[in-house]
A and B are shown apart, each in its own frame.
Chain A
Amino acid sequence: MEEVKLMKGNEAIAEAAIRCGCDGYFGYPITPQSEVLETLMALEPWKKTGMVVLQAESETASINMVYGGAACGKRVMTSSSSPGISLMQEGLSYIAGAELPCVVVNVTRGGPGLGTIQPSQSDYFQTVKGGGHGDYKLITLAPASVQEMSDYLCLAFDLAFKYRNPVMVLSDGLIGQMMEKVQLPDYQLRLTNEQIREKYPWATLGKQGRTKQNIITSLELVSEEMEKVNNRLQQKYREVEANEVRYETFLCDDADYLLVAFGSTARICQKSVELLREEGIKVGLFRPITLYPYPASQILKYAKQVKGMLSVEMNAGQMVEDVRLAVNGLVPVEFYGRYGGMIPTPEEIVKAAKEKLMA
């Protein structure tokens, strides 16, 4: 049954979580994403689907509750905003190391430090280049609408379990707070413990019927063995890179110039492309949806066709490094950004594109 509602991005996360069979949410309030926990508490999913919702004492505790729940083979998640996500980096490294599935939503705000509660995309590096310690990767999905907050949350759970890896939904305060129409997903049944035992034989649900104990750990003191663990992780990441790249293009086929942008900035850039096209300038928009794995080869393909690219971001220039790596010097890659909670207008992006690419 099609069910369309008007809601905030944060509310869509909460609704989608319940509907896609989430077993547990553990979180701590922080602006601009507190509506996720508030909505869940108001919806009382424990009465309907049995989903557990718990307000933890900190983001550190939240991510470690997620670790414990994920180790039981449960569909568990948390959400936070930049400073809180910083506190979760230790836990994310452990979860990646222990190869557990979970979903983390970052409704990014401006930093560094306490920064601002206004939107920003300045957690790109933290998300796709590590953040925590060790060689690990977070599969990262960047929604650009409230609808995608809902869609990508469900996709994030599927990818997390497919690869036994944490998945980050990297949005920002703009998408978290704005209201749009959303078509919510149908209700999916939560797995029973028996189904989890069958589907995820590694889950620590108690030994019951198993001769061998299950141990969830990221520890291996023998270097030769730890190298093997890392090899296995790297192999998995190569698989993710081969299979899970997602992106969107807008008027790229005949483009002479390309704007590259993700998330809410991509929405703004779409308008900039239209404005430039009205002036007869053939500009397209390339929007990476997965920030890891990054659509590098797809960007390289366009590098052979266009005269230059402009990476537009709400930060001081982070994703631009990945665009440059992808393009590998074939064409100039310029950067335009606003930060500290400032949101660029379509017009100022048009001006920047002309100055930086066409002057």
Chain B
Amino acid sequence: MERIIIDGLSFSLPLFIMAIGGIYSEKSGITNLALEGLQGVGAFVGALAAVLAAGSFADQSQAPFYIAVIFAILGGMAYSLLHALLCIRFKANQVISGVVINILAMALTAFLTKYLNRSVFGAASDKFVLGVSARITVPVLSQLPVLGAAFQDLYPFELIIVAVALIAWYVMDKTRYGMNLRACGDNPHAVDAAGVNVGQVRLLAVMVSGGLSGLAGICFAYSISANFSSSIYVGYGYLAIAALIFGNWTILPTLGSCLLFGFARSGGYYLVQKLQMPSSYSDLVMTLPYVVTLLLLIFFSKYNRAPRALGEIYDKGKR
């Protein structure tokens, strides 16, 4: 039972922060299917920084992890500029742009990982080995019955994510920029008439989504896979999109749907272990988050209200 909560949280929180990034972008009116690629490139840049930095720290040092987080955020942001360029400046179809960026991200990172491993580190390998980050337990709270498990064996990144999520919520709901951003997704012409640059607001929103996706990507790399390789692309970006659609483009319900995905996954693994099924059954468990997503979308997408100008290219002359 405790393991379900611990593992579930460590999966849902990165998913949640990526979904928040998606909310930022989509609320501003830019459809963002590129989350998958953004988290991959972010994780790649972060992992590269960590591997390069690892030599100058002691073996047990956690410093490379924090370096990786910072670089992952920067990397995700930088790569998201491409999506912004295509969608805002080049007025390309946003769905196509997102998918293109994902495919390019997969190709680029797979190629660069292999190339850098060979030329810089002198090893024929297609991954950067990172290890799993250390875990911490919050002293008093973890003694609580049942809920205490949520405070046991935390990855440090879970705390970072909670802090970032709070800031993201505050900016979105309580600041002038957040208001402009939400207005851009519903009625960009009104925003323009109020003297705010629509393109700029959207650019920032896409960059936020890039940074947060990068953060999520490096968290996945440091927990689930313990390395960076192309196996980072297993559709978590699309899961995050499903989570935010299911959460109706608002932050708190999205957290709910992310937790649901996380617990569905960790619960499934727990079952496979508990019933001592052969390991090939874990393949079936892997499908659980996807199946849950589809079912939830079937039941709930009728009640959804997407931002009105979502996916529309902003054209000043149009009314």
Interaction A to B: no
Chain B residues proximal to chain A, CB less than 8 Å: none
Chain A residues proximal to chain B, CB less than 8 Å: none
